């Protein structure tokens, strides 16, 4: 007998995905599980304009039990369908409706954009989609574990193919009042897929030719041959599965419970993790910030290079050397919390957060080393310091730490490239070569056209400064902008970049005139020439003209008397440079901070800069 199925039910795999533990499986796979690893199915639903991931309770319990056996608590979950996405959890199960057992269901609120990241869509649950009982037949959907197999990804990395399976079975006259609903069909011949393990958590739909709706979620499925089970008619194979029954009102009640209790469950988990970490690290804080940083970098050493975190070693040491300072202790604790998060060094956004914390703190430490004791401004939520003395006019320092052009996504793209190169080196060594070498270009400013590299560098640095400086009305105190350039190094490692132009001697080629990019960041006016070393000795040394306006020329930023730049050499030793509107903006404290490493629009101090 042919059972009618709505066309859209046959396309319903778009509402589900494979779910696995968020576990690292090695360089060649990253978080993609091996084919034999037990996985399950997760369904994405939307109800009352909120989005949830749904799977079976026994799935979550199994994953958590395996994680605990390996000494891991609350490791999270992962959908490996390319490009992959994590579901941090927790998944919660609604309470039992006494005297019934707790439902075999687990739900987790998610961002509505999460399914689309892996090419999926939510299924919108509406009251009109409820079935009329008894239901003649249903279609279950999921991703069986044994159907997974390895494939090569776009970059020759290992991915996994996960076929989606539809199972069609007849109802057995259920009245729709019980939690678990069985479906059964006899089959004249064995189906292609013999093992349905892994489909738990997948959606199931009632359907006819013109309508369909969500009826439940898969909790168990099995295919039996003619020699298995009892009562198999005519010696046929048979298929049966069980559903956790749902309808609109049930899901509405469950999701309301989840919404009310999810944050408290998160707090409970965080408290547990903190207690465990506290026990593990009674001496962890004594270990210091640098050790935590080193551990985070060691965690990814065999996987990829984090281009921005690799820059931080020496500044982290500087911060770690400061003791008995309330501000540094507070910031150190924030950085330690970040560094102890799982896989923090593989997360572009968290890497950015760490760099911004470090940029602000390291500037404070550099001032402290010069005997300048700053106080944190308490009337703003932004990184800002205040300095006050009887002998000088007080001033404020607004601190920004611009990140790579492209920010978190650019950092992650560079890590992915690094991973691919490590894989290529391993493959070369596996082929019997005694030496394998790879080269990676770190481009914090993005792709710079060679013929206008200085022009574009200046413009992009101006853009990053503008994007990081807050707008608004401010008090009348003198203000300086502090720009920590640990993530965006200047074009040249010389104090002369504070000059409008300077002479650069190139061995065997001669002396060339080069534009000072930090002077231009502050004082550029449209139409000014940009000089750089020519590619060939006979080429012209002018890139063209700049079309942007410097920060200190722009009226939007007239509150700033100058810009203080924290720049780092190749060993990441910091030095402080500055540009001021004029020499009168400098007081005794500023002279202590910058010494003779400053300039103004008129190049008054250019003769001191080398």
The string of pLDDT tens digits covering residues 32-79 is 888 888 999 999 999 999 999 999 999 999 998 888 887 777 778 999
Stronger pLDDT, 370 or 312, i.e. the higher one: 370
Res. 421 pLDDT band, cuts 50 70 90: low
What is the dihedral sign for C-alpha 223, 228, 231, 236?
A: positive
Residue 90 is inside which H or E element, if any? none
Q: Please report the pLDDT score of residue 438 as a whole number.
A: 47
- Of 184-193, 405-414, 475-484, 550-559, least confident by mean pLDDT is 405-414
Q: How much is the pLDDT for 576?
A: 94
3-state secondary structure of 260: helix
Lowest mean pLDDT across 24-33, 46-55, 173-182, 365-374: 24-33
Q: Which of 380, 423, 413, 426 is nearest to 399 (CA)?
A: 380
Distance, CA of 416 to CA of 394 (rounded, Å): 47
Question: Which segment, 127-131, 226-230, 442-446, 501-505, is predicted with the most confidence on average?
Answer: 127-131
- What pLDDT was estimated at residue 406? 54
Look-up: residue for tokens 């707008």? 471
8 Å CB contact between 216 and 225: no
State both tokens at 107: 């739900």
**Using N-to-C axis directions, what is the helix angle for 348-369 and 407-430, rounded to 10°?**
110
Bigger pLDDT: 278 vs 457: 457
Q: Which helix (H) or strand (E) holds 522?
A: helix 517-523
| Residue-level pLDDT at 284 | 46
Which of the 8 DSSP states describes residue 232?
-
pLDDT of 140 reads 94
What is the secondary structure of 305-331 as a DSSP string? --TTGGG-HHHHHHHHT--S-HHHHHH
Q: What per-residue confidence (pLDDT) applies to 529?
A: 93
Query: Confidence band (pLDDT; 50, 70, 90) for 536?
Result: low
Query: Is residue 571 helix, strand or coil?
Result: coil
Reply yes or no on whether the pLDDT at 249 is more than 90. Answer: yes
Query: 361 falls in which pLDDT band (50, 70, 90)?
Result: very high
Mean pLDDT to the nearest integer, 368-394: 80
Q: Tell me how many helices (H) and strands (E) the chain has.
A: 11, 26
Position 344 pLDDT exceeds 60: yes
pTM of the predicted model as reported, rounded to 2 decimal places: 0.53
Strands (E) across 320-449 are located at 375-376, 384-387, 395-400
Rg (CA), the chain: 31
Give the C-alpha separation, 371 to 47, whole Å: 60
pLDDT (mean) for 540-566 = 90
Tell the burial category of 393 from Cβ atoms under 10 Å away from its Cβ (0-12, 13-18, 19+): exposed
User: Is pLDDT of 247 > 90?
Assistant: yes
Tokens of 158: 């290992």
State the pLDDT at residue 285: 46
Q: Report whether 203 contacts 15 (CB < 8 A).
A: yes
Closest CA to 513 of 493, 492, 532: 532
Domain positions in the chain are 7-260, 283-369+406-443, 375-403+448-610
The length of the chain, given as a count of residues: 610
The whole-angstrom separation of Cα 3 and Cα 525 is 75
Q: Is the pLDDT assigned to residue 531 strictly greater than 50?
A: yes
Three-state SS at 353: helix
Question: Which of 251-260, 271-280, 400-409, 497-506 bottoms out in mean pLDDT, i.e. has the lowest?
Answer: 271-280
What is the C-alpha to C-alpha distance for residues 463 and 282, in angstroms, rounded to an integer?
A: 44
pLDDT digit string, tens, across residues 323-340: 888 899 989 999 998 888
How far is the CA of 459 from the CAs of 226, 455, 588, in angstroms? 74, 6, 32
**386 is written with which tokens?**
């205040």
What pLDDT, on a 0 to 100 scale, did the predictor assign at position 365? 94
The helix (run of H) or strand (run of E) holding residue 9 is: none
pLDDT at 585 over 50: yes
The residue-averaged pLDDT of 147-174 equals 76
DSSP 19-78: EEE-----TTTTTPPPTTS--EEEEEEEETTEEEEEE-HHHHHHHHHHHHHTT-SS--EE
Span 554-563, average pLDDT: 91
Share of the chain above pLDDT 70, in %: 80
CATH class label, 7-260:
mainly beta
């Amino acid at each position: 007998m042919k059972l009618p199925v709505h066309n859209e039910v046959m396309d319903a795999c778009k509402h589900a995905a494979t779910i696995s533990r968020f576990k690292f499986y090695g360089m060649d796979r990253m978080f993609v599980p091996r084919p034999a690893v037990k996985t399950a199915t997760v369904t994405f639903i939307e109800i009352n304009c909120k989005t949830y991931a749904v799977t079976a309770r026994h799935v979550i319990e199994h994953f958590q039990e395996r994680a605990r056996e390996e000494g891991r608590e609350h490791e999270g979950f992962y959908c490996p369908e390319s490009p992959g996405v994590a579901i941090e959890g927790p998944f919660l199960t609604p309470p039992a409706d006494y005297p019934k057992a707790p439902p075999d269901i687990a739900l987790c609120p998610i961002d509505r954009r999460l399914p689309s990241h892996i090419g999926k869509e939510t299924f919108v649950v509406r009251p009109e989609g409820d079935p009329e009982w008894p239901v003649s037949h249903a279609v279950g959907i999921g991703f069986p574990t044994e159907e997974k197999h390895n494939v090569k990804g776009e970059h020759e990395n290992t991915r996994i193919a996960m076929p989606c399976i539809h199972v069609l079975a007849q109802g057995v006259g259920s009245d729709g009042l019980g939690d678990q609903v069985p479906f059964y069909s006899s089959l004249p011949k064995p189906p292609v897929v013999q093992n349905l393990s892994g489909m738990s958590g997948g959606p199931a739909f009632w359907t006819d030719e013109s309508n369909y709706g969500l009826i439940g979620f898969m909790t168990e499925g099995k295919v039996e041959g003619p020699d298995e089970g009892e009562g198999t008619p005519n010696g046929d194979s048979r298929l049966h599965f069980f559903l956790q029954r749902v309808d609109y009102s049930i899901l509405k009640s469950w999701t309301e419970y989840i919404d009310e209790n999810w944050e408290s469950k998160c707090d409970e988990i965080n408290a547990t993790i903190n207690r465990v970490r506290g026990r593990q690290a009674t001496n962890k804080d004594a270990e210091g910030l640098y050790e935590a940083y080193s551990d985070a970098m060691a965690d990814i050493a065999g996987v990829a290079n984090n281009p921005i975190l690799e820059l931080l070693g020496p500044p982290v040491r500087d911060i770690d050397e400061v003791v008995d300072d309330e501000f540094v202790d507070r910031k150190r604790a924030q950085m330690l919390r970040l560094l102890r998060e799982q896989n923090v060094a593989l997360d572009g956004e968290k890497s950015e957060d760490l760099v911004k914390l470090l940029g602000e703190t390291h500037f404070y430490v550099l001032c402290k080393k010069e005997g300048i004791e700053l106080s944190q401004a308490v009337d703003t939520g932004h990184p800002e310091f205040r300095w006050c003395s009887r002998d000088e006019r007080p001033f404020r320092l607004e601190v920004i730490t611009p990140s790579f052009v492209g920010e978190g996504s650019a950092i992650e793209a560079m890590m992915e490239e690094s991973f691919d190169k490590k894989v290529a080196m391993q493959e070369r060594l596996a082929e019997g070569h005694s030496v394998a070498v790879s080269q990676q270009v770190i481009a914090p400013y993005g792709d710079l056209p060679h013929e206008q590299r200085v022009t574009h560098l200046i413009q992009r640095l101006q853009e990053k400064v503008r994007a990081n400086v807050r707008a608004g009305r401010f008090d009348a105190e003198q203000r300086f902008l502090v720009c920590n350039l640990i993530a965006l190094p200047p074009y040249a490692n010389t104090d002369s970049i504070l000059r409008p132009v300077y002479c650069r001697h190139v061995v065997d080629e001669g002396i060339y005139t080069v534009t000072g990019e930090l002077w231009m960041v502050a004082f550029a006016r449209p139409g000014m020439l940009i000089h750089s070393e020519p590619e060939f000795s006979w080429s012209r040394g002018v890139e063209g003209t700049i079309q942007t306006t410097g920060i200190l020329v722009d009226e939007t930023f007239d509150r700033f008397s100058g810009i203080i730049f924290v720049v780092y050499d190749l060993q990441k030793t910091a030095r402080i440079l500055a540009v001021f509107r004029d020499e009168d903006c400098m007081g005794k404290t500023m002279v202590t901070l910058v010494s003779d490493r400053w300039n103004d629009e008129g190049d008054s101090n250019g003769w001191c800069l080398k």
